[in-house]
Amino acid sequence: MTARESARPSWAARVEALLQRHWWQPRPSLLVRLLGPLSLVYGGLAARARRQAQPPAGPGLPVPLLVVGNLVVGGAGKTPAVIALVQAFQAAGRRPGVISRGHGRQPGGARAVEPGDPAAAVGDEPLLIQRRTGVPVWVGSDRNAAARALCAAHPEVDLLLSDDGLQHRRLRRDAELLVFDDRGVGNARLLPAGPLREPLPAAIGPQQRVLYTGRRVSTPLPGAVGQRTLGQAWPLEAWLRRDASAAVELPALRGRPLLAVAGLAAPQQFFGMLVAAGLTVDTLALPDHHAYATLPWPAATPDVLTTEKDAVKIDTAALKGTRVWVLPLDFQLTPGLADDLLTLLPAPQPKTPLP
């Protein structure tokens, strides 16, 4: 059995992969043209929802909120950007927290994310953010409720970031960061004929900024350009223990058969970075947010390379001899971007002492 055969993507994943192939082509395919009328319907419904959506009545959030999100469906490097921003804000003396819906999590109200939580309970990306930064992270389908719960539990927090939520119009926000990778907006059409959740604006608003994670500006909107890089390779067990002494530089993995596995919206970017690092890899692309209910590679696979987003869901007890190497995706922000974003947010207010 090959690695690709062992993955067995679901029907929904196959449809998603088919659409992705057509969305990012420069010229509209027959399928894209056939889906055009549905995009008109989607656009009308989405515009009406934006007009009707209002933040809940009453006082706003106790601290300013920055939404970091995509206009396109998935895969723009949003989560690494959130991690980098949290670290930059900490370096500037701020005390950030993070809220998220928690894609794929079990139903339930707002809750804190703890390092030992299963990804199925809180979502893979919120769990990764908490593990990488150590800041308070709360998840909930009602992001306003998650934000209030986080602030109540952590009165020291003076700034919130929302990992996604750009289209969640009921979420109160003070500023927005729009994230694009080197694919830009693809064919620039709305779902389902294209990857856009909402139309690309002609210009950004005064409380908006744009970040490009693919080393180049890929839309007409001006913005900062950052850079994604691969860190050291960590054995999975050492990564879970946060034991940096076991990590190795990527050249140490050259010259051996490697299987690269990624459950991302745009896994080819991860695979390309491995090849650019001089590694020889076979590849296994999984659906975004793949659950890892079972291991998707053959039992005899000796070495697997994967991302942190995948690693939080892999059961070490099921490996049976396979060495899994976790490769963190680090993001380098453009100098000055974090400071610029802070100028868009209200200054932190002095906390009222508790009686």
Residue-by-residue DSSP string for 203-216: S--TTEEEEESBSS
- Relative to beta strand 234-235, strand 227-230 is unpaired
Q: How far is CA 118 from CA 126, 307, 314, 315, in A?
A: 11, 17, 10, 10
How many angstroms separate the CA atoms of 109 and 140, rounded? Answer: 6
pLDDT above 90: residue 12: no
Supply the CATH number for residue 77's domain.
Answer: 3.40.50.300
Shared-domain flag, residues 261 and 288: yes
Residue 142 shares a structural domain with residue 188: yes
Instruction: Tell me the average pLDDT across 49-68.
Output: 87
The closest of 124, 45, 134 to 96, measured between CA atoms, is 134
Number of Cβ atoms within 10 Å of the Cβ of 334:
14
Return the amino acid letter for 8. Answer: R
Whether 100 and 158 share a structural domain: yes
| Position 64 confidence tier, pLDDT thresholds 50, 70, 90 | very high
10 located within any domain: no
As a whole number, mean pLDDT of residues 274-292 equals 94
DSSP 196: B
**Omega cis (within 30) before 192:** yes
Residue 202 and residue 120 share a domain? yes
E strand spans, 270-354: 281-285, 303-306, 323-326, 329-332
| Cα gap 136→122, rounded to integer Å | 13
Band (250; pLDDT cuts 50, 70, 90): very high
Residue 236 · residue 339 · CB < 8 Å: no
* Residue 160 included in any domain: yes
Same domain (yes/no): 194, 337: yes
Query: Which residues fall within 8 angstroms of residue 17, CB to CB, at 6 or more apart?
Result: 9, 287
Same domain, yes or no: 339 and 237:
no
Give me the pLDDT at residue 8, please.
56
- Mean pLDDT to the nearest integer, 182-210: 96
Mean pLDDT of 97-112: 90
Mean pLDDT of 10-35: 88
Q: Is residue 244 part of a domain?
A: yes
Residue written as token pair 């998603």 = 16
Taking only the tens place, the pLDDT of each residue in 304-342 is 999 999 999 999 999 989 999 999 999 999 999 999 999
- Dig out the tokens for 130 from the structure: 């908490």
Say yes or no: 152 and 106 in one domain.
yes
Over range 235-258, report the average pLDDT: 96
Beta bridge partners of 69: 178
DSSP code, position 348: P
Adjacent-strand bridge partners of 332: 227
* pLDDT tier, 16 (very low <50, low <70, confident <90, very high otherwise): confident
Comparing C-alpha atoms, which of 349, 355, 344 is closest to residue 89? 344
How many Å apart are CA 353 and CA 355, to the nearest integer?
Answer: 6
Q: If we measure between CA atoms, which residue out of 129, 52, 24, 120 comes closest to residue 87?
A: 129
Residues contacting 225, CB < 8 A, separation 6+: 211, 212, 215, 216, 217, 334
Residue with tokens 């800041």: 135
Beta strands across the sheet bearing 234-235: 234-235, 323-326, 303-306, 258-262, 281-285
Query: Mean pLDDT of all residues in the chain?
Result: 92
Query: Do 323 and 273 belong together in one domain?
Result: yes
Do residues 306 and 339 share a domain?
Answer: no
Report the pLDDT value the prediction gives residue 352, as an integer from 0 to 100.
54
Residue 52, domain member (yes or no): no
Categorize the per-residue pLDDT at 177 as very low, low, confident or very high, splitting at 50, 70 and 90.
very high
Rounded mean pLDDT, 203-213? 97
- For the cut 60, the answer to whether the pLDDT of residue 1 exceeds it is no
Would you call 39 exposed, middle or buried from its count of C-beta atoms within 10 A (0-12, 13-18, 19+)? middle
Pair 180, 226: CB distance under 8 Å: no
Mean pLDDT of 99-105: 90
pTM of the model: 0.92
Does 166 score more than 60 pLDDT? yes
Our count of domains for the chain comes to 2
The answer to whether the CB of 155 falls within 8 A of the CB of 62 is: no
User: Would residue 23 count as lying in a domain?
Assistant: no
75 and 186 assigned to the same domain? yes
- Both 124 and 203 in a single domain? yes
Q: Mean pLDDT over residues 101-106, rounded?
A: 86
In a domain, 107, yes or no: yes
Q: pLDDT at residue 115 above 50?
A: yes
The pLDDT confidence band at residue 355, using thresholds 50, 70 and 90, is very low
- What phi, psi does 228 have (nearest 5°)? -95, 135
* Residue 208 forms part of a structural domain: yes
Domain assignment present for 38: no
Tell me which residue range forms the domain holding 189: 65-227+333-344
pLDDT value at residue 233: 98
The answer to whether residues 210 and 304 belong to one domain is no
